[in-house]
Chains A and B, each alone.
Chain A
Amino acid sequence: MQYAISILLSGISLGGQYALIAIGYTLVYGILRLINFAHGDVFMVAGLLMVYLTSFLGGILPPAAVIPAGLLLAVVLTVVLGFVIERAAYKPLREAPRMSVMISAIGVSYLLQNLATYITGGLPQMYPEIPGISKTITIAGVPTKVVTVVTPVLVLVLVVALTQLINHTKIGMAMRAAAKDFETAQLMGIRINAVISVTFVIGSFLAAVGSVLYFTNYPSIVPLSGALPGLRAFVAAVFGGIGSIPGAVVGAFIIGISESVIKGSSWSIFSDAFTFALLIVILVAKPTGLFGEKVTDKV
């Protein structure tokens, strides 16, 4: 029983972290129809930024201020990174075939990974301990970290805030319009580049928050630590129906819990294989995912 609870807890926590990344995928895909392969690496860079910022700020700030300042700066810099990536690598290809943009995304991912390898020297970097969420507590007799409890709550708050933003603000309306029909939205006077930038900013912000929660559970970061969580989060986004935010969150929790269950069984080597098998089954059986809208191809 205790074992089951601990598996479930870690699954929910993992699911919440994937949800934050998956929203970034789903927003971008909704508007640009682009699988942003670099998103997982943005998530990794956010983690590395935290490592370097805390060690840098540790020298100039009083100890109590290091972590909050580091967190804030890491999130801001990640958002800037997401913005710059969009402007530099995707905007010039707006009129190009979709395949070119996807290749550009793969190129950015490759660049970020190599850059991270160069800067870290390929060595695993110790993730700083964040007071408050790294502490161990006991729930129903199972010891776990505070982050396990914080994650689902934070995800809920952020998702509610995001849906409010999308449903009740001007920029949210512009985002919905752009997702519905890119060209018509432009004709209606929506500044499409601003909308896309905002999308990337939101996506990177959530990825940065997700990275803080995710890496707290792991002792260290390597340049490749973003790739697999990124892919799993993407699978979660597809599973829930790409373009749909509630879908991405539900999908992420399902993927997170099933991963945690499989990792706890004797089939642990197949945890990623299962995720992708699930993806293929979903794509074949219901290509639009759980909550996706049906699209018809016009000739």
Chain B
Amino acid sequence: MEKTNKKRLWITLLCAAALLILVTLLENVLDPSKNVMLFISLKKGAVYALVAVSMNLLNGFTGLFSLGQAGFMLLGAYTYAILTIPTDQRDAVYYIYNGSAINFSLPELLGGGPVGLVLGVLLALILGGCVAAAVAWLIGLPVLRLKSDYLAIATLGFGEIIRAVFQWDKLGPVTNGANALKNFPTFSSFNIQGGPRLSTCVAFLLAGICIAVILLLINSTYGRAFKAIRDDEVAAEAMGINLARHKRLSFCISSFFAGVGGGLFAMLVNQAQAKTFTTAMTYEILLIVVIGGIGSVSGSCIAAFLYVAASEWWLRFLDTETVLKNGFKVPFLRTGFRMVVFSVIIMIVVLFFRRGIMGDRELPDLLAGLSGKTRRKEASGK
């Protein structure tokens, strides 16, 4: 067992490193202005992969069905944006409220320049995660006592509450009301002028580090406790696992990474606005988790990229009216058809491939030849 674990670790690390190098090479070899969709899909895929994995930690590994992910992303995105808008831009961003209530910017406080940028962005992302985790702790006190679908609906409601609070006029000087926060450092800020382009690499690196931390957590004693809770709460409690404590821990950690993911999302779309973080976004992430396989980290990552690429890029042609060379107009193709086809595909996955792409297996299991037989034996022993 020891040996296979080490082997898996190496394979995972190698894959991650190879992916990072590949992405960096790709961005510097290809012209980003000609391959816009490719790079948008890659960056958005990385961000969604992180959020999906954080949701999977809760839904797939702890068995807590929560639908508050968009709310926590919103907290992370706003914290990140508020802390990093340059001071000389604040008046322009908050023009409706005559300037901002917070008049500092982390990258500038930390010395400005490239070093300040890197440190400031990192610190702001981590703080965004911390805010999300702190709010999750508070919410968790009452909400985590609920079971399955009640928990889902309560967290869903909480997401709506957060969205209303952030659009509140009275908080305008901090949150800019219903208007977007913008002009903060984004992924493109990491493209070195005249040097290598690093924006996609940064997105992958940040998301990758967070996913690695979640992976380490899942493989620790805490992770095993989470899985025990998922499989049977009563039995887990009888084995001496403190249910309340572990559920709260899982909820906070998941929210922390959702918050970081929200910060990354703000960096991706160059703005933070409460109305983007709707319930529909949570559903989107949930569907990614389902497509990838509930309880599989690598499944969530693969599904995130597939989902984003399919919805943003590969299925685009369905949205434009097409006339073939012989004058035949292809029926159905017009705006909105892409999403119809897409949701039909999702329904097929949900109904007929309930285990998703990976089931509850991980990629290294398949690569190391550990797939199939041994695992199934373990499963049948349950």
Query: A-side interface residues toward B, CB under 8 Å?
Result: 33-35, 88-89, 92-93, 96, 98-100, 102-104, 106-111, 114-115, 117-119, 121-122, 227, 231, 234-235, 238, 269-270, 272-273, 275-277, 279-280, 283-284, 287, 299
Contact = CB atoms under 8 A, between A and B. Distances in A.
Interface in B142-163: 142-143, 145-146, 148-150, 152-154, 156-158, 160-161
A287 B143 CA distance: 11
Given A273-B160, A276-B161, A287-B150, A103 B350 contact: yes
9 contacts: A99-B294, A107-B343, A111-B347, A115-B343, A272-B161, A277-B157, A277-B161, A279-B153, A299-B234
A110 B290 CA distance: 14
A276 B340 CA distance: 30
Contacts, number: 122
A279 B161 CA distance: 11
Interface stretch (B90-98, B102-110, B164-172, B371-379): B164-172
Contacts of B347: 89, 104, 107-108, 111
Contact of B158 (A35, A114, A118, A276): A276
Contact of B340 (A88, A104, A107, A118): A118
Nearest to A100: B354
B351 A89 contact: yes
B351 A110 contact: no
Contact of B167 (A118, A119, A269, A275): A269
B66 to A, nearest CB: 12
Contacts of A279: 153-154, 157
Identify the interface centre among A93, A115, A121: most chain B CB within 10 Å of its CB. A115
A231 B165 contact: no
B336 interface: yes
Contact of B346 (A33, A110, A227, A270): A110
Identify the interface centre among B154, B169, B343: most chain A CB within 10 Å of its CB. B343
Given A227-B279, A277-B157, 4 more contacts: A96-B354, A103-B290, A238-B150, A276-B158
A269 B286 CA distance: 27
A111 B157 contact: no
Nearest to A284: B142
Nearest to A117: B336
A287 B146 contact: yes
Interface in B318-365: 334-337, 339-340, 342-344, 346-347, 350-351, 354
A102 B150 CA distance: 12
B287 interface: yes
B143 A284 contact: yes
A273 B283 contact: no
A284 B142 CA distance: 6
Chain B contact residues, majority secondary structure: helix
Nearest to B149: A35
Contacts of A96: 354
A272 B160 contact: yes
List 8 A-B pairs, minimum CB-CB distance, nearest first.
A276-B157, A118-B336, A273-B164, A114-B339, A111-B343, A273-B161, A284-B142, A107-B350
B65 interface: yes
Given A93-B351, A280-B158, A238 B335 contact: no
Contacts of A111: 340, 343-344, 346-347
Contacts of B158: 276, 280
Contacts of B153: 35, 234-235, 238, 279
Contacts of B167: 269
Contacts of B168: 269-270
A272 B163 CA distance: 10
Contacts of A88: 351
A110 B340 contact: no
B64 to A, nearest CB: 11
A80 to B, nearest CB: 18
A269 B161 CA distance: 10
A231 B224 CA distance: 35
A115 B340 contact: yes
Given A92-B351, A122-B336, A235-B157, A107 B164 contact: no
Interface string B272-294: 00000001100100110010001
Interface string B2-29: 0000000000000000000000000000
B233 to A, nearest CB: 10
B142 A280 contact: yes
A269 B164 contact: yes
Contacts of B148: 98-99
Contacts of B65: 99, 102
B149 A98 contact: yes
Contacts of B169: 269
A218 to B, nearest CB: 20
A119 B287 CA distance: 23
B277 to A, nearest CB: 14
Contacts of B145: 284
B299 to A, nearest CB: 15
B281 to A, nearest CB: 12
Identify the interface centre among B336, B337, B344: most chain A CB within 10 Å of its CB. B336
Nearest to B282: A106
Interface string B233-251: 0100000000000000000
Nearest to A114: B339
Contact of B336 (A114, A270, A273): A114
A102 B167 CA distance: 30
A106 B280 CA distance: 10
A279 B142 CA distance: 12
Contacts of B142: 280, 284
Nearest to A242: B150
Nearest to B141: A284
